[in-house]
Structure 1
Amino acid sequence: GKAHAAAYRTASALYSPVLPPVRLVSIGDVNAEFGSLAARRFGYERNDTSWQAIAEADDIDVVSVVIANSLHREVVEGLLAAGKHV
């Protein structure tokens, strides 16, 4: 997750004007306290406690799935079904 956040923060500057500005909107973590700390530390606007909340969020277009490989399928399929770019 750290590397993803750093890359997203610099992507627009490196690839301007090809990429629009990137906003770091939400970190998803079932542990609300940890998610809140991580969101503040890495510059995200908020944290959500489920991937479903991120899938339903109108202000999120692209999602990095940074969880254990064994958990990827359900989350990625759900995000894709919700129209997110994964």
Structure 2
Amino acid sequence: VPLAVLIGIPLYMNAVGMIPILQVLTEKGVAMGTALAFMMAVIGLSVPEMIILRKVLKIRLLVIFAGILFVAITITGIIFNMILG
């Protein structure tokens, strides 16, 4: 799950564009929690998103925000994997 989050960070896509990618990932055997974590990272932790937020947040706050999001997305993915098997 953490690797899926890290892979998703440099990408940028909207939520609707992620649906076909998630479908392919889950059909290829990726666990639902891992696919969900990847989707959330692409949407919420992407580099363009951080560039936009940099205009309103100081670097320290941006790092804290990204760290909290990374941990929360990772935990969410792990929990979904445990629940869904």
TM-score, reference length from structure 2: 0.27
TM-score, reference length from structure 1: 0.27
From the two aligned structures, give the one with the greater helix fraction. Answer: 2
Determine which structure has greater relative contact order: mean sequence separation of CA pairs < 8 Å that are 6+ residues apart, divided by chain length: 2
